Structure 1
Amino acid sequence: MAEITASLVKELRDKTGAGMMDCKKALAETNGDLEGAVDWLRKKGLAAAAKKSGRVAAEGLVAVATSGTAGAVVEVNAETDFVARNDKFQGFAAKAAEIALTTGDVEGLKAAAYPGTSHTVQDELTSLIATIGENMNLRRAAKLSVSAGVVTSYIHTAVAPGLGKIGVLVALESTGDAAKLTELGKQIAMHVAAARPEALDIGDVDTSALEREKNVLADQARASGKPESIIEKMVEGRLRKYYEEVCLLEQTYVIDGETKIRKVVEAAAKDVGAPVALTGFVRFALGEGIEKAQSDFAAEVAAAAGTQA
């Protein structure tokens, strides 16, 4: 009998959306044959997602949940915006965010028990796929927490409480007034939604992105014909501008248009009654990074006409 590896089980789960135990059983029944296992699951009615798994799911919802010193955000994708307005889909997304408060990453979330059932979160999603009839995907999840203070959230273009197209978490570490910290966190979260920072501070900027930016700036400076000693200073000056664009603490606060976020946080200490540190943020925008299929309607019509001829 062929060895049923964890990677093979995962591949079958990704391909069909069926539960882990069902996938293991299917592979055992088909002696490790992946395509045979897909067919076995479909015959058993356990792979309603199989036919849909190749379709692009770039719509759906971003959901957030917070509980005192912790917050979670998840992205659940579907094929159409219509499904995002479905009560069952919204209920699943909201519940997934609540569960992510304890699980954190997306793989842990998928494997977690779904409340009120004897199966996992991924199994619940598979059942939802069969019910609604669209390909769906629990794409990603993230969690923030602080030892003291608050984690606040913001949803842009909300369709229901905690559900929308852009979800943001902001973590503020402080022993100060929780209500005032929460208000500050919400304001900064709104800024994050609008300004789209890529890193918290200069030291957090991705090294490969930084090197690429330096190379571009250096080439631009050399085109001016300046000597290398001047070019180096020109690059340093332009990098400061780059940091102001991509680092949250270096960005100008969109609410007043003049104060750096770093200064906003520092100034808040007086209002909340204790020092405040902005320790992290997460921003999920629905469908970012997913390549959507571009359909050629004229070509589709021509193909259909050719088929019918």
Structure 2
Amino acid sequence: MEISASDVKELREATGAGLMECKKALIEANGDKAEAAKILKEKGLAAVEKRAERATSEGRIFVRKLDNKVVFVELTCETDFVAKNTDFIALGEILLDVTIEKGLTSVTEDHKKLLEDLQIKIRENMSVRNVIVVDIPAGCAGASYVHSDFKTASCVVIKGSDAEVVKTFAYDCCLHLAAFTPAYITKEDVPESFINEQKEIFKAQMDNDPKMAAKPDNVKEGILAGKIKKLLAESCFVDQMFVKDDKVSVAAKLAQVSKEAGAELSFATTKLIVLGK
């Protein structure tokens, strides 16, 4: 049967498929546009399956803060070009909408189904790698931040007060997390295995330095302890120098803000999300 150019154009606009693919689908469907769209989708999904093993190392982190929670959706794709695509960005916002409306707290089939149409249209593997929901209890101050490249995001919830000064500090802490990406929050979070491994590295470095190797054992032990202390201060969020005031640590700044707010403050949640990690 003869397929008109207008029918092909209409199907292409509806599905995003190529002109020849649309024409072939219309011929196969005997001119039925709904059936042709179904054929294209089935073929597109089959192609998506073939691409499922391709690495998705690019993408964006989408964040939305509500009064009582912060929602993160990590949407990945194969290329940076697609990560900047307006349809891809719109899809991320839709994924946030669905997550919030349905009260979802992890990746579900609802998320995966929403990817199908864009995967077929763009012909690139995509995945919802992470869905994270952080609660902000009543009387707590919460803040979120996403970096300009949309590949790093953070969230901080401080309990004890929801005063403006505390909210501002929570936001600044989000900036700090994104800027310094600390491996741990406090020293108590650091595994003993990590400390032991670093001790072995520092000991080997000292043994290979003739001047250091000649020092008495008690001196070397003191130097080793100092190196570990410095490493922990650099690796732990609360011990790092605060991003907005490098003369005080995050913990010291928290104490200052506690006095300003007239409340005993503490970190309830500190969350750092880095794309693909």
Runs of 4+ in structure 1 deviating by more than 6 angstroms, as ranges, are: none
Q: Which runs of 5+ in 1 are unaligned?
A: 1-41, 112-119, 159-163, 289-309
* Deviation sequence 1:138-174 (CA, Å, 0-9, x none): 122333334341321111116xxxxx22211112112
> Cα distance, 1:73 vs. partner?
2.4
1:222 maps to 2:207: yes
> Cα distance, 1:189 vs. partner?
0.8
> Cα distance, 1:190 vs. partner?
0.8
Structure number with greater Rg is 2
Aligned pair count reads 230
Which residue of structure 1 lines up, in the alignment, with residue 14 of structure 2?
none
Classify 1:194/1:143 alpha carbon distance in 2 versus 1 (closer, same or farther; 3 Å).
same
* Deviation sequence 1:232-278 (CA, Å, 0-9, x none): 32221111111111100000012222110001111112333322212
State the Cα RMSD in Å.
Answer: 2.4
Once the two structures are superposed, the pairs formed by residues 194-213 of structure 1 within 5 Å of their partners are 194-213=179-198
User: 2 CA distance for matches of 1:64 and 1:208?
Assistant: 34
Classify 1:69/1:220 alpha carbon distance in 2 versus 1 (closer, same or farther; 3 Å).
farther
Give the AA of the match of 2:158.
L
Q: Contact 1:73 / 1:142 at 8 angstroms: preserved in 2?
A: yes
Classify 1:45/1:131 alpha carbon distance in 2 versus 1 (closer, same or farther; 3 Å).
closer
Q: Which runs of 5+ in 2 are unaligned?
A: 1-40
User: 1 CA distance for matches of 2:93 and 2:61?
Assistant: 9
* Deviation sequence 1:256-309 (CA, Å, 0-9, x none): 221100011111123333222123322223345xxxxxxxxxxxxxxxxxxxxx
> Cα distance, 1:43 vs. partner?
6.4
Give the AA of the match of 1:279.
A
User: 1 CA distance for matches of 2:141 and 2:99?
Assistant: 17
- Alignment TM-score, normalising by the size of structure 1: 0.67
Q: Select 2:153's aligned residue among 167, 177, 183.
A: 167
Give the AA of the match of 1:166.
T
* More deviation, 138-147/252-261: 138-147
User: 2 CA distance for matches of 1:170 and 1:139?
Assistant: 21
Q: Contact 2:61 / 2:153 at 8 angstroms: preserved in 1?
A: yes
Which residue of structure 2 lines up, in the alignment, with residue 110 of structure 1?
108
**Identity over the aligned pairs, expressed in percent?**
24
Q: Select 2:117's aligned residue among 114, 122, 127.
A: 127
Give the AA of the match of 2:177.
V
1:244 maps to 2:233: yes
